[in-house]
């Protein structure tokens, strides 16, 4: 029988809406983000996926997304046992945190900002690159989540664009060279169908 790993990027946050670098800053969902999280739950319910364990970032926008999605999916009983951990947080944008992305491009140049945002191993000033995120997400996944998948459990991970992109590398479905092309929309469940801990296929729920 197949089992499932579902990755869910948080719904739109207020700073997503305002086009700001967010990183570790603990900002809440926008109104649209709340609706995205609730819709994610409806999609999961329609797909018939019931979870055994839920993991989330410690940041509000991710764990609130998990709570809203679970309630909408009719699985609110899992909220009390949800596990939140710092290792699943968004990447730290350092000195860019809180800055408007367009203004940052005007100040530093579009090419430099693109390197900071998309380079695998070049961090923004005072922040983390994606490689740094892989190095904290990877051990956490291996120790806490993979053993459950090896037991054929259904797992939901609600986190952030970059921590989930890092996880795609950890899972072996993307590489540092291919990850730039991998987009994870806000509030859209990415489902990995698995057998015996191995990935059989993946798709976004629509």
H-helix or E-strand spanning residue 38: helix 31-47
User: Is 90 considered catalytic here?
Assistant: yes
Tell me how far CA of residue 130 lies from CA of 81, 157, 161, in angstroms.
29, 18, 11
Query: Using N-to-C axis directions, what is the helix angle for 110-118 and 101-108, rounded to 10°?
Result: 120
Q: 129 near 123, Cβ under 8 Å?
A: yes
- Which of 36, 90, 128, 160 is catalytic? The answer is 90
Comparing C-alpha atoms, which of 163, 3, 156, 148 is closest to residue 69? 156
Query: Using N-to-C axis directions, what is the helix angle for 130-140 and 161-171, rounded to 10°?
Result: 60
- Which of 10, 36, 128, 160 is catalytic? The answer is 10
User: Is 31 considered catalytic here?
Assistant: no
The catalytic residues are 10, 90
């Amino acid at each position: 029988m197949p089992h499932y790993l579902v990755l869910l990027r948080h719904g739109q946050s207020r700073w997503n809406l305002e086009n700001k670098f967010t990183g570790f800053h603990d900002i809440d969902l926008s109104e649209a983000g709340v609706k995205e999280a609730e819709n994610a739950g409806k999609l999961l319910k329609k797909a018939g996926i019931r979870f055994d364990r839920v993991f989330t970032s410690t940041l509000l926008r991710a764990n609130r997304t998990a709570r809203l999605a679970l309630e909408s999916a009719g699985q609110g009983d899992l909220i009390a046992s949800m596990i939140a951990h710092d290792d699943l947080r968004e990447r730290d944008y350092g000195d860019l945190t809180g800055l408007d992305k367009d203004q940052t491009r005007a100040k530093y140049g579009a090419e430099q900002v693109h390197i900071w945002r998309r380079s695998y191993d070049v961090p923004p000033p005072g922040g983390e690159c994606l490689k740094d995120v892989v190095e904290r997400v990877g051990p956490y996944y291996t120790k806490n989540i993979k053993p459950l998948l090896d037991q054929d459990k259904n797992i939901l991970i609600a986190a952030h664009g970059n921590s989930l992109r890092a996880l795609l590398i950890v899972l072996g479905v993307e590489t540092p060279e291919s990850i730039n092309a991998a987009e994870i929309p806000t509030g859209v469940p990415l489902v990995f169908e698995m057998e015996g801990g191995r990935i059989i296929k993946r798709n976004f729920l629509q």
